[in-house]
Amino acid sequence: MQSVARVDTLVVGGGAVGLACAIALREAGREVRVIEAAQVGSGAAHGNCGTITPSHAPPLAAPGMVQTALRWMLQPDAPLYIQPRVDPRLWRWLLTFASRCNARDWESSARAKSRLLNDSRARLADWVRDYALACEFVESGEDYVFRDPRKRDKDLHEVPFLRELGVPVDTFDGPAYEAAEPALKPGVVGAIRFTGDAALRPDKYVAELARALRERGGEIVEGCAFEHIERMRDGELRVHTSQGVCEARDVVIATGAWSPRLARAIGFPALRNAMQPGKGYSITYDVPARVPARPLILRERSVCVTAWASGYRLGSTMEFSGYDTTLNQRRLAALERGAAEYLHEPVGPRVRERWFGWRPMSCDDIPIIGAVPDRAGTWLATGHGMMGIGMSTGTGQLIADLVTGRAPAVDPAPYAPSRLA
């Protein structure tokens, strides 16, 4: 990028959400440039399990979660782990999170997430078709599999609410499900199938979004780190980056888990306390001989299993350890151990990659999408938690609608950054 450049709209962040925003803005007639501090797709999208899940609208902050989290703090390989340490921002975030572990806030967050997830799910199928995205997209559904009847019954209790949110659900008893899914070991007590869910290969999806954007005249600059925004007298925004200065009418911040670190630079310090990086892990293998017919969530162990033609992945877990860069072998081993309880062939013949990445976790488990308060022309698209891929297209369209002043396809009120100020 030249020392001083001019663009209509600058998107900061080259992950799934940032690229989706850029494509939707380009389709709305905006000139768009994306800057990415590293490489396109190098963030949380790279190693996640690629499930597109309107079924996952219920938030992590659920009744009883505080007690569960406290118990799991003593288990470093637990599905949810909070690393004990002195971190005032983390503890402020946790207090807000804990205050929302009640039925009223749980339902409110689920409804807000559901609207964006449902919109994104329908829009994603259109994008795959219209942009010819070669990302192994399959409308396969996803199954929750249970070996403990108590866990099964707890999840079955939520089924009527999920159906109210528009999530199609089928249920199976253990013997019927085992007969239909030979990849599983005996001992399944039941399963829940979310037939409207889907899956894709997330790294390919992000690469294809980048291709589609470039083909439509969008520009992507990699290795270009955002530094800060300066407002000019004429209302234009001057964005300082590691590659120079860029002037823009609008700036969209879609930097995922790194967003809190930019809070002061964008003039929204409240963001520092409203988000935490939630560390997730995955292992990618060559494909085993026997794999499930569709993505599975092994519920008692909170392990996600996804098989594509090009690979096989175990993933999940949530760890609050700040921006710790340790690849925790104990948590990776827990993925394989959990899968081994359920599957005849829990791992592939060869490991391709052991990975971790940070999800952008908002304190209310609702994405942060919209105008930065008192900072005209600066927009946020972050805080998607574990749903960044699944909410990407809907977020992109919502940002494009808000930036261009069109009537939004989804009510933007629940996602507004002003709720955090």
- CATH code, 334: 3.30.9.10
Q: What is the pLDDT of residues 96-113, one digit of tens each?
A: 999 999 999 999 999 999
Report which of 133, 58, 90, 135 is spatially closest to residue 386, judged by C-alpha positions: 58
Mark 170-195 as b/e (b = at least 16 C-beta within 10 Å). Answer: eebebeebbeebebbeeebbbbbbbb
Question: Average pLDDT of 23-36?
Answer: 98
| Whole-number Å distance between alpha carbons of 347 and 385 | 26
Q: Which helix (H) or strand (E) element contains residue 32?
A: strand 32-36
The amino acid present at 83, given as its one-letter code, is Q
Is position 173 within any domain? yes
Three-state secondary structure call for residue 18: helix
Does residue 80 contact residue 69 with C-beta atoms inside 8 Å? yes
Does residue 354 contact residue 283 with C-beta atoms inside 8 Å? yes
**Domain residue limits at 401:** 4-45+204-274+365-420
DSSP annotation string for 242-270: TTEEEEEEEEEE--GGGGGGGTTTTT-TT
Is position 227 within any domain? yes
Residue carrying the six token digits 């394989």: 336
CATH number of the domain that residue 34 is part of: 3.50.50.60
The per-residue pLDDT of the chain, averaged, comes to 96
Residue 234 reports pLDDT greater than 50: yes
The answer on 77 and 156 residing in a single domain is: yes
Beta strands in 39-127 (DSSP E): 51-52, 80-82
The amino acid present at 70, given as its one-letter code, is L
Question: Average pLDDT of 316-324?
Answer: 94
Looking at the structure of the chain, the number of domains it has is 2
Question: Average pLDDT of 194-217?
Answer: 98
The torsion region of residue 82 among left (phi > 0), alpha (psi -120 to 50) and beta comes to beta
Single residue among 319, 341, 362 that ends a domain in this structure: 362
Handedness of CA 289, 293, 295, 301 (dihedral sign): negative
Confidence of residue 197 (pLDDT cuts 50, 70, 90): very high
Q: What is the pLDDT of residue 70?
A: 84
Q: What is the pLDDT of residue 3?
A: 58
The answer on 316 and 342 residing in a single domain is: yes
Is position 38 within any domain? yes
Give the rounded distance of the alpha carbon of 327 from its chain centre.
20
Number of H-type helices and E-type strands within the chain? 11, 19
Question: Average pLDDT of 80-86?
Answer: 88
Is position 116 within any domain? no
Q: What is the pLDDT of residue 233?
A: 84
The answer on 156 and 35 residing in a single domain is: no
Residue carrying the six token digits 């120079």: 244
The answer on 155 and 225 residing in a single domain is: no
Residue 298 reports pLDDT greater than 70: yes
Single residue among 340, 362, 384 that ends a domain in this structure: 362
Q: What is the pLDDT of residue 2?
A: 47
Residue 1 reports pLDDT greater than 70: no
Confidence of residue 72 (pLDDT cuts 50, 70, 90): confident
The answer on 408 and 327 residing in a single domain is: no
The answer on 352 and 283 residing in a single domain is: yes
Give the rounded distance of the alpha carbon of 419 from its chain centre.
20
Three-state secondary structure call for residue 224: coil
